[in-house]
A and B are shown apart, each in its own frame.
Chain A
Amino acid sequence: MKRHPQLWLLAAIILAAVLSASARPAGVNPYYLGVAVDVGINVILAVSLNLINGHTGQFSLGHAGFMAVGAYVASSITLGLAARFGGPALTPLLFAGSLLAGGLAAALAGLAVGVPSLRLRGDYLAIVTLGFGEIIRVILQTTDAVGAASGLKGIPKFTSFGWAWALAALTVYVVACLVNSTYGRGFIAVHDDEVAARSMGINTTRYKVTAFVIGAFFAGLAGGLYAHHKQFISPGGFDFNKSIEIVVMVILGGMGRTAGVIAAAIVLTLLPEVLRPVAEYRMILYALLILGLMLARPQGLFTWERRTGAKPGPQPT
């Protein structure tokens, strides 16, 4: 996948288009379709966080915050347009525009969080990003213009399977291309040894901030998709738990292994759905399973070679 990311992107987009085109007339169970959209959104979240936490070796606990920014900005735009011009004014192009606006707003927030990351690392950075996520949530909770604690309702249903998977493919493509370019190997270099990277002429500061900005942008896109999928958002949906959920996907996917992180995002999205029959024990079982997986495979669930050609070396911490 690292060798020919373009082909993978193409294959994924075609698959998404075919599936979304055939799904509607065939009347596939909408529940399955909904879960598939969730999978796409979580792939975007996990792969984009992987750029920050996995490839660049920072530790962000604020991904839900970026997602919230994207979700609220995108839905405010579509809701505002619908209120002023009526439903028919909303075309796919406008939806794309509102998603983009959400992504850009989140990227701006990423810039704001990325700057303190220059001086902080490890647990300190984790605390700052955690604080950022909570600040976003509290601001949303107290802003009446976006529905305060009750959130935004009646968001037009725009996100389809095709949208979610096409953007997931785009995210994977961009991140894979990025870390496999000569420029992008700088992310891995910053992760492996910051002092050596600096002495090699790599502007580590710029890489760290770039990782935050790009990661946040895609989290913002995911937020917009999420809002137009669930048609309802509230600050509670973007809390600390959501950030942890994404961090778990990255850790179980094996930090920095793109394919593993995608697989973990898929498995962890499906897991609670599969566990639905056991109703009230579902979340306990889910938590126990994750705990067990973490203990059994601390190096990640899927430990095929992280990078084509590179035999695994010792993982620096």
Chain B
Amino acid sequence: MKPPLLDIRDLQVCYGAIEALHGISLSVNEGEIVTLIGGNGAGKSTTLRTVSGLIRARAGGVRFAGEDIGQCPPHEIVRRGLCHVPEGRMVFANLTVQENLRMGAYLQRDASVVAREMEYVLGIFPRLRERSQQAAGTLSGGEQQMLAIGRALMSKPRFLMLDEPSLGIAPLLVKTIFEQIVAINRDRGITLLLVEQNANLALEVSHRGYVLESGRVTLTDAAAALRSNAEVRKAYLGG
């Protein structure tokens, strides 16, 4: 069997004196969609931030495509094809939609590739095309989330991590976004790691899931199995 694309081993992460992750292990295989669920403060965002190099682990290792990326700076990790859309719609407010997308292809030198990716992104999110000359700061929340995902796609990632893509977004837009997440995985073969409060929806589109509780992985299973698990239903799926 092929080794997993992303392999996290015994990851321990601290903020100052407080340990947020107490040694978690998880892996994502090429082509999968995997969801990380857990309550507030469980350490989901911390996990993503550590993988993308925004913060450093105290102990443990992160391997991507067979190589140790634990010590790599974020731009080196993006270069290897691992892209992270952080929590909270972080678009570049003063740049236009189009310029934001171009920033996503920041490491891409080939202009024809950039143009092609841009077409793809504007194709899956037509709203962005309508607003391509608008400053990103003036977009609605859902549009900003689309832009953040589109911008990440511009880097032609092999692996995409989305932190709460449905946070504070109207149900209709959430549906569009999740449809595109599935499409990205199916059509482009991009592997995804999702973090979602809307666990039901996320597990519906995922292959597997992990449950994180106060910095520890407490459960992992196939997505369908997690959805029918009584405890998971009670804690995260609203009964």
Contacts and interface: CB of A to CB of B under 8 A. Distances in A.
B133 A309 contact: yes
B84 A310 contact: no
Contacts of B86: 195-196, 199
Interface stretch (B21-29, B31-39, B135-143): B135-143
A313 B138 contact: yes
B92 A310 contact: no
A193 interface: yes
A25 interface: no
B95 A186 contact: no
A102 B135 CA distance: 39
Interface in A160-200: 182, 185-186, 188-189, 191-193, 195-200
A90 B96 CA distance: 49
A201 B154 CA distance: 11
B234 to A, nearest CB: 34
A195 B89 CA distance: 11
Interface string A34-73: 0000000000000000000000000000000000000000
Interface in B65-81: 73-75, 77-79
Given A192-B92, A309-B133, A311-B134, A182 B102 contact: yes
Given A310-B133, A313-B137, A201 B94 contact: no
A307 interface: yes
B106 interface: yes
Contacts of A307: 94-96, 135
B43 interface: no
Interface in A258-317: 306-307, 309-316
Contacts of B90: 193, 195-196, 199
Contacts of A186: 103, 106
A310 B94 contact: yes
Interface residues of B, number: 35
Contact of B54 (A191, A193, A199, A312): A199
A189 B85 CA distance: 15
B104 A200 contact: yes
B78 A199 contact: yes
B93 interface: yes
Nearest to B137: A313
Contact of B92 (A189, A309, A312): A189
Contact of B135 (A193, A198, A310): A310
A244 interface: no
Contacts of A192: 91-95, 137
B95 A188 contact: yes
Contacts of B152: 200
A49 B79 CA distance: 32
B94 A202 contact: no
Contact of A311 (B84, B99, B138, B148): B138
B84 A199 contact: yes
B151 interface: yes
Nearest to A198: B74
B96 A188 contact: no
B206 interface: no
Contacts of B103: 182, 185-186, 189, 197, 200, 202
Contacts of A201: 74-75, 77-79, 83, 106-107, 155
Contacts of B134: 310-311
A300 to B, nearest CB: 14
B195 to A, nearest CB: 14
Interface string A217-259: 0000000000000000000000000000000000000001000
B52 interface: yes
Contacts of A312: 135, 138
A256 B78 CA distance: 28
Contacts of A314: 93, 137-138
Contacts of B151: 200
Interface centre among A182, A193, A200 (most CB of B within 10 A): A200
A91 interface: no
Contacts of A188: 92, 94-95
B123 to A, nearest CB: 21
Given A182-B106, A193-B90, A200 B138 contact: no
Interface of B: 52, 54, 73-75, 77-79, 83-86, 90-96, 99, 102-104, 106-107, 133-138, 148, 151-152, 155
30 contacts: A182-B102, A185-B95, A188-B95, A193-B90, A193-B92, A195-B90, A196-B90, A196-B91, A196-B92, A197-B92, A198-B74, A199-B52, A199-B54, A199-B83, A200-B78, A201-B77, A201-B79, A201-B83, A201-B155, A202-B106, A203-B73, A203-B75, A307-B95, A310-B94, A310-B96, A311-B133, A311-B134, A313-B94, A313-B136, A316-B137
Shortest beta-carbon contacts, A-B, top 5: A313-B137, A201-B78, A196-B90, A313-B135, A192-B92
